[in-house]
Amino acid sequence: MTFDKNRGSAYADIVNRICETGPISFEEFMEIALYSRNGYYSGHTSFGTHGDFYTSPSLHPVFGYLFAVQIINIWESMNRPNSFTVVEIGAGDGTLGIDIVSAIRSVDASILNCIEYIAIDRVPRGAVSGTEIISGDQLDLQIADLESCVVLSNELIDALPVEILEVKDRRTNFVMINVDENGDFKESLIETTIDELADVDLSALEGYRGPLCRKLGEWIPTVIDSIPKAVFINVDYGYEQTEYMSMPKSNRLLQTYYKHVDTLNPLDRVGDQDITAHVNFTALRKVFAQRGIKSVTNITQREWLFGLGYLDVLENMRLSGELSRREISLVDRLVEIDGLGEFRVEISQKGLDEAEISILSDGSNSYNCFNKVPPVTRNHMAYHFRV
Ligand SMILES: C[S@@+](CC[C@H](N)C(=O)[O-])C[C@H]1O[C@@H](n2cnc3c(N)ncnc32)[C@H](O)[C@@H]1O
């Protein structure tokens, strides 16, 4: 077999694994490609202008500001507990956490005596307000005896390793990855029984190919199970099961990003390109239910941000001359139909009483302070629109 040294260390790691064990699942391929020592998330500054993709927090601090408004509303609806923790999972370079803490501080610094922000990432690579981003297993020590918390994530779940499911001859198969004598990756199929699909009419799905995430719950640290009251806010892109597993979505749910271009083949540029999968929100809710977490609502990012006062904030910034026309069109991407505005915001809870749930579900916003949007920094795309 030819070992192509130019294809990088993550490529070599995968070839070595295949030589040791035989063909590997796509899930294992994605795990090594993204999260091994030489993987994509270990070595790259992947976010924003200089990365391969941008996310809502990396566009403009308005996103973090409105997230902070949501958090303060939840804290208020719980009668301002003295000890309230916000746990962000998949914090990346920490931009969202920095903006949320900064927004809370400028709205009312005394709130930070009660609200603590903990940022977690599988590949910790930064800090939020002087505190290092930690790995999930360090959380236990930090939140023993906690009464209530918010657990949030932005584009975490789409970054979890997935299998690739293919329907052939009315049977379900997973894609396996092997390597040929030229050192190129090759796919094969292995028939697999998938309990969740037992009732699905596979004849209508002949030829379907799409991701299936078996790690949908693994990002929730187990210590969260012991906290009596928790609100979950997970922002990501995806669909409900019926749309997710339909022929129009076949081959469209697994994406790769390299320098802002949606490339075609996840087996290319191993370790140098991002691989992501749309989220199946129906499946996510099933995993939540197993942990006693109940869905409150699932709305678009556009609806969510509008409910939190997006239009007023923008108008205020425009009137005060803070935003150029160019920046306004950049910020508007947060609510764009067919863009970030179509992302889903899954809000769920455990342990909340009826009154607290109704405040969460009606989406109304009792706390507004439009002139407190944190400053644009180098981490935001908006910064690079100014210079
Ligand atoms: C697409 S990035 C999003 C980063 C950031 N939330 C944002 O919106 O810019 C996904 C992040 O999730 C992290 N991640 C993936 N799986 C994780 C897990 N199980 N626990 C914590 N972080 C995880 C990755 O390391 C990466 O930083």
CATH code of residue 347 = 3.40.50.12710
pTM: 0.95
- Ligand 1: which of 35, 59, 156 to mutate, judged by most atoms within 8 Å of the beta carbon? 156
Is residue 73 assigned to a domain? yes
Torsion, Cα of 275, 237, 247, 240 (10° steps):
130
The residue whose CA has the least distance to atom 8 of ligand 1 is 154
Expressed in angstroms and rounded, the spacing between residue 88 Cα and the centre of ligand 1 is 10
* DSSP code of residue 137: G
Q: Is 61 in the pocket of ligand 1 (CB under 6 A)?
A: no
Tokens of 371: 């002139």
Is residue 289 assigned to a domain? yes
Q: Per-residue pLDDT for 53 more than 90?
A: no
Q: What's the number of domains the chain is made of?
A: 1
Is residue 121 assigned to a domain? yes
Among 202, 211, 207, 204, which Cα is nearest to 237's? Answer: 211
Q: Is 64 in the pocket of ligand 1 (CB under 6 A)?
A: no
- Ligand 1: which of 34, 36, 52, 121 to mutate, judged by most atoms within 8 Å of the beta carbon? 121
Say what the pLDDT of residue 368 is. Answer: 61
Expressed in angstroms and rounded, the spacing between residue 251 Cα and the centre of ligand 1 is 23
Q: Is 136 in the pocket of ligand 1 (CB under 6 A)?
A: yes
**Per-residue DSSP letters for 170-211?**
TEEEEEEEEE-TTS-EEEEEEE---GGGTTS-GGGGTT-EEE
Is residue 250 assigned to a domain? no
Expressed in angstroms and rounded, the spacing between residue 110 Cα and the centre of ligand 1 is 30
List beta partners, residue 172. Answer: 167
**Per-residue DSSP letters for 327-357?**
HHHHHGGGG-TTTGGG-EEEEEEES--HHHH
Which residue range(s) make up the domain with 152?
Answer: 56-160+214-237+278-386
The residue whose CA has the least distance to atom 14 of ligand 1 is 90
pLDDT tens digits for range 214-227: 999 999 999 899 99
Say what the pLDDT of residue 29 is. Answer: 98
Query: Once rounded to an integer, what is the mean pLDDT over residues 307-314?
Result: 93
Expressed in angstroms and rounded, the spacing between residue 182 Cα and the centre of ligand 1 is 34
Nearest-atom index, ligand 1, CA of 125: 27
Say what the pLDDT of residue 62 is. Answer: 96
Is residue 378 assigned to a domain? yes
Is residue 29 assigned to a domain? no
pLDDT tens digits for range 249-283: 999 999 987 765 666 789 988 988 999 999 999 99
Is residue 267 assigned to a domain? no
- How far apart are the C-alpha atoms of 280 and 169, rounded to whole Å? 24
Expressed in angstroms and rounded, the spacing between residue 151 Cα and the centre of ligand 1 is 14
* DSSP code of residue 254: E
Residue found under tokens 């090759």: 186
Is residue 382 assigned to a domain? yes
